[in-house]
Amino acid sequence: MTLRCRVRSTALLVAALGPLSCVHAEVPRLEEIVVTAQKREERLSQVPMSVAVLDGARIDASTLTGVTEALNTVPGVAANVGYQGGATLISVRGIGASGPLLEGSSPIAYYLDAMPFGLVTSAVAPDSGAYDLQRIEVLRGPQGTLYGANAQNGVVRVLTRDADLDGFGLSARVTGSDTNDGGGNYRGDLAINVPVIESKLALRGVVGYSKLSGWVDGPVGENVNDSELRTYRLKVNAQPTDALAIALSAWSSRDDYGAPSASDDDAHISATQAQPIAIDYDVYSVKVGYEAGHFSVASMTSVLDYSNRSLWDLLAGGLPGVNFSTGLDSHVLSEELIFHSRPDSEWRWTAGASYRHGQDRLLQSSVILPAPLDYTFRSESFAAFGETGRRFADNRFEWVLGLRYFHDDVLNRENTQSLGLPGVPLYHATDTFDSTTPRAVLTWHASDDLTTYASYAEGFRSGFPQNAGVIAVEPDFPPLRPDKLHNYEVGAKGNLGERVSFDTALYYIRWNDVQQSLAVFFQGVPLVANVNSKPASGVGVDLGLHFRPVDRLDLGIHGSWNNLSFDEAVPVPGGVLFEKGDRLNYSPELTARALGEYEFALGGGGLRGVLAASADYTSKQEHRGSNTGTAVVSGDALFIARASFAIRSGDRWTAMLFADNLTNEDGATPTVTLVPEWMLRVRPRTVGVQLSFGF
């Protein structure tokens, strides 16, 4: 008898959470999973791009606290949590924003289902709850044709599970653990699926709660960086007819942190005032799909409300008794209408249009400012896009051509007099930005077990008007223009027999007009502004290998390396900020992962034991910017190891003993200042027990 194994991709570049366990009597066969990276269902092994997939069931079985931690297990990705505001700054293949706030939007698109989470002038993303997800897809390289302005060098898609129309289901997970030099942690998650009308209508609800101990001490108290995380999600799926599908969803997240997870090397901070952070968001979406015979059409409408509040004690920066408060409120409305050809059509095509209205309001106050800062940034954009392709030569070859036109009207408005100058008119500026981005791919389906491809793609990021402080000094200072990235790539993915799969890509990037916040001279006057800096370029490689040397033993080695650096020196008043050949901000050269899992029988009662271990490595990251003159803020290389032993009873329940950060890594990632105790730290060694149940 052979029991069904959860599906695994033959072309998975990074099995980021470890290989999936199966119970079987025959030789295991590497199977396929289906993704929607190109906005249509396809086998991952047939998708001509570098894609990493994190399976939702594996995330549920792991001890990862959220999407940010999961992303840091994907080679080629660095997800850093910022000091001010505590949100996530993401880079892919060394490409990221030069800073989290007011230094340009993120060049990596972030999606919660169909909802594009992208701010107008800042690059932060939320750390979403990760229980009961269908999967997380990470698309490496420019995706400007199908995903638009923020997909300059990658896309992160957090995809939730649809409600099952035919069966009741319930799953739960509880975790208790202890953090070294910290305290106890606990979390609970529950997902329930209820069919309302069989095969026609169903509901799926998810609730998650985590209470995590801090480990940083200071005058305010011990373990000040504790956190309380809450997630609520509801999804309604309806299938009125075979051709019509409707999905409604609501997702709320409430995250509260006592302080940033930042300290000196001794896990100590000098702040004498509390530094709380509160991050909330609500996402509502409607998706309607219709199969019309020769084509399908889908409409996706979504609304996002995001709020981020933080307080920053500036004592360690030399300003005792002074704090700096930041509030960021964002509202995004998006609509996309997309048409697809039939999957079996000789000509495959995708065409669509999208509209997005985003507004951010930033409020900052401190006694060191002449007056509170109160700005509104607004972006109203629309795009039309399409791709078409055809297989030829007995279906062994396929070409695809794509194009997207993007138009963006951006407003920067001062709501109150931030310069403290009575009688000076409030600043108000608008600018328009346009871009057209192509994509071309040639794929060779050499066999059912081997796919190779060559591609060229462009990605872009919109610009925005300068802030009021810059214009007050130099009214003629130009706006920040869009920057554009060119990517040339060849890749191959497939199987070598039944026990080895691989996925590799070699690429060259050229990034023109890189957006940065810099100190510059303009008409002889020094000031800090958002400018288009020098170009950067480099080559890189993604490589993943998955082995099954014997039954029930899975091994994986995955890595991503690039030498992306500035092509020219970047001067600033008083010196040079980046020399030619220097890496960009938040741009690790190497990320790698090794993992292994072994499953074995425990007695004759059907119980299984599973031993698993993994190790993740990220080379050091640096930051240079307007806040540090010409100095370099350098982080550490990070090595994070995990190990676990689990007992499983089929698909019903699992009990697991785990240890995260086995080596007690205490390295740091850089911030925008030179203050050592503002460096961000990873959670120390954490040991605990996790129980999971489902049916």
DSSP structure string for 603-660: TTTTEEEEEEEEEEEE---EE--GGGTT--EE---EEEEEEEEEEEETTTEEEEEEEE
CB 9 within 8 A of CB 53: yes
Position 262 scores a pLDDT of: 92
Q: Quote the strand ranges of 393-461, DSSP E.
A: 397-414, 428-447, 450-461
For 178-197, write each residue's pLDDT tens digit.
999 999 999 999 999 999 99
For 502-554, write each residue's pLDDT tens digit.
999 999 999 999 998 887 766 666 678 888 999 999 999 999 999 999 989 99
Position 8 scores a pLDDT of: 36
Instruction: Give the CA distances from residue 621 to residues 369, 485, 592, in Å, rounded to whole numbers and listed in that order.
Output: 31, 21, 15
Q: What whole-number distance in Å separates Cα of residue 524 and Cα of residue 135? A: 53
Asked if the model's pLDDT at residue 346 lies above 70, the reply is yes
Above pLDDT 70, what percent of the chain?
93
Asked if the model's pLDDT at residue 628 lies above 70, the reply is no
Position 449 scores a pLDDT of: 87
Mean pLDDT (whole number) for 481-488? 95
pTM for the model: 0.92
DSSP labels, 280-311: EEEEEEEEEEEE-SSEEEEEEEEEEEEEEEEE
Q: SS3 for 144-208, per residue?
A: HHHHCCCCCCEEEEEEECCCCCCCCEEEEEEEEEEECCCCEEEEEEEEEEEEEECCCEEEEEEEE
Q: Could you give the 3-state DSSP secondary structure of residue 103?
A: coil
Determine how β-strand 525-532 pairs with β-strand 515-522.
antiparallel
For 349-394, write each residue's pLDDT tens digit.
999 999 999 999 999 898 888 888 898 999 999 999 999 999 999 8
How does residue 14 score in pLDDT terms, banded at 50, 70 and 90? very low
Q: What whole-number distance in Å separates Cα of residue 633 and Cα of residue 647? A: 45
Asked if the model's pLDDT at residue 409 lies above 70, the reply is yes
Please, what's the b/e burial string for 371-396 (b: 16 or more CB within 10 A of its CB; e: otherwise)?
Answer: eebbbbbbbbbebebbbebeeeeeee
Beta-ladder partners of 384: 353, 405
Check if CATH label 3.30.1280.10 holds for domain 34-694. Answer: no
Structure tokens at 453: 């491809």
How does residue 28 score in pLDDT terms, banded at 50, 70 and 90? very low
Position 543 scores a pLDDT of: 95
Domain ranges of the chain: 34-694
Mean pLDDT (whole number) for 152-170? 95
For 647-678, write each residue's pLDDT tens digit.
999 878 999 999 999 999 999 998 877 788 89
DSSP 62: S
Structure tokens at 610: 């599973």
